[in-house]
């Protein structure tokens, strides 16, 4: 296991997401979502590795959900990217009928929706109840409170996710996590993906770096 500050891990995740061909801005959202899950003591690194491997190199247009109206987001063919879906939910929450409930079809690794629901809650001031299969939880800006077992959050894909405003006044336990341990397998995969963003070394590249071709040892 390797010890990271959350900030350093976020930077690694962002680069890994970019290495898996996410645009930089979405990679930022992804890395932030990973850190949110880590703060909530959820298994972030393994889920993130799974997501990046699943969608590695797939065109984002094939991974986008389609908003039908304010109550339904649909998806055919491949499962939707949860980062792209979560980002849309966060961006468009004012157009969603969260009081009545919103259905989201076919999302991969739906746990990555939780950070974006937290973001919506922080802006709207309302708690949000979220469920898929046997998983149920309430999210607000302080974190997540599970109604079901927390292990149910681990899920590669699900066909129907439901979110709705709720008035539950639960105790949210904020855990001030600032460090995390990453196992060797997950770290190796993230590092390999991140390394794709580094330009392979050539003489020409080296010569154009700072100090290239100059005396620098005097």
Partner 1 sequence: MSEQVRETEHDLVMRSPSDVMRLERLGSFHQTRLSFMRGLLRRVVSEGWQFSRPVWQVDRQGVGVAVYEAKGPTRSYSLVCFAHDLDPQNRSDRSIATEWDATFTLFDGVPTQEDLERLSHQVPKQEAGRVSKSELSLSRANRSVRLFEHVVSRLAQGLQPDTQQIEDIGYLMRTTAVYGSGKFGAAARDMLKTRPETSRPFQVEMLSVYLTRAFTIDIVEHLARSRAPKTAVPLDRGIARRLGVGNSTGLGMAPFLVKHPRLVHNWINARETALARVRAQQGATDETIALFHTAVTAASVSIAKWRTADQGQAGRTVDLCKDINTLQEHLKSNALISDYPWEQLFQWGMVNLKTEAQELLVSLLIEPHGGLVDDLLDKMSADHSLPLKIDGAMQLSKLNFLLQTRYAWVERFDFENTEARKNFWYVSENKGEPRLSPRSIDPDADYYETPLDVACQIARLQADMATWSDEEQLARFLLVHPEHRKIVRRVQGLSDCDYSEIQENIVGDGIRPIDMLRCKLSFFGATDFDPRSDRWVRITMFKNAPYPDELSLKTQDNWVYVADPLNR
Asked if residue 62 lies in contact with residue 112, where contact means CB atoms within 8 angstroms, the answer is no
Output the furthest CA–CA distance in the chain (Å, rounded).
71
Residues 141 and 148: their CA atoms lie apart, in Å, by 20
Tokens of 174: 């904020």
| Residue 16 C-beta: closest distance to partner 1, Å | 14
199 binds partner 1 (CB under 8 A): yes
Q: Residue 155 contacts by C-beta under 8 Å, 6 or more apart in sequence?
A: 109, 110, 111, 132, 133, 135
Q: Map residues 159-188 to x or -, x wherever contact with partner 1 holds by CB under 8 A.
A: -------------------xx---------
Among 100, 123, 181, 183, the residue binding partner 1 under the rule CB under 8 A is: 123
Give me the least distance between CB of 200 and partner 1, in Å please.
6
By the rule CB under 8 A, 53 interacts with partner 1: no
Q: Is 99 in the site for partner 1 (CB under 8 A)?
A: no
Which long-range contacts does 25-28 make (Cβ < 8 Å, 24+ apart)? 26/60, 26/83, 26/84, 26/87
Instruction: List residues binding partner 1 (CB under 8 A).
Output: 2-8, 23-26, 28-29, 32, 60, 64-65, 67, 84, 87-88, 90-95, 119, 122-123, 178-179, 195, 197-202, 204-206, 208-212, 214, 216-218
């Amino acid at each position: 296991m390797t010890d990271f500050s959350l900030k350093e891990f976020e930077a690694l995740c962002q680069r890994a997401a970019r290495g898996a061909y996410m645009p930089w801005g979405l990679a930022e959202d992804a890395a932030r979502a990973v850190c949110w899950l880590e703060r909530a003591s959820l298994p972030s690194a393994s889920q993130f590795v799974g997501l990046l491997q699943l969608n590695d190199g797939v065109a984002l247009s094939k991974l986008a959900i389609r908003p039908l109206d304010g109550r339904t987001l649909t998806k055919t063919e491949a499962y939707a990217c949860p980062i792209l879906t979560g980002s849309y939910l966060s961006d468009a929450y004012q157009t969603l009928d969260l009081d009545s409930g919103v259905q989201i079809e076919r999302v991969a690794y739906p746990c990555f929706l939780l950070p974006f629901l937290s973001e919506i809650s922080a802006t709207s001031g309302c708690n949000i109840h979220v469920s898929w299969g046997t998983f149920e939880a309430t999210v607000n800006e302080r974190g997540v409170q599970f109604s079901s077992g927390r292990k149910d959050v681990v899920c590669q894909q699900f066909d129907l996710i439901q979110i709705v405003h709720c008035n539950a006044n639960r105790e949210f336990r904020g855990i001030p996590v600032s460090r995390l341990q990453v196992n060797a397998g997950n770290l190796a995969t993230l590092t390999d993906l991140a390394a794709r963003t580094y330009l392979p070394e050539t003489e020409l590249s080296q010569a154009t770096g700072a100090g290239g071709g100059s005396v620098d040892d005097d």
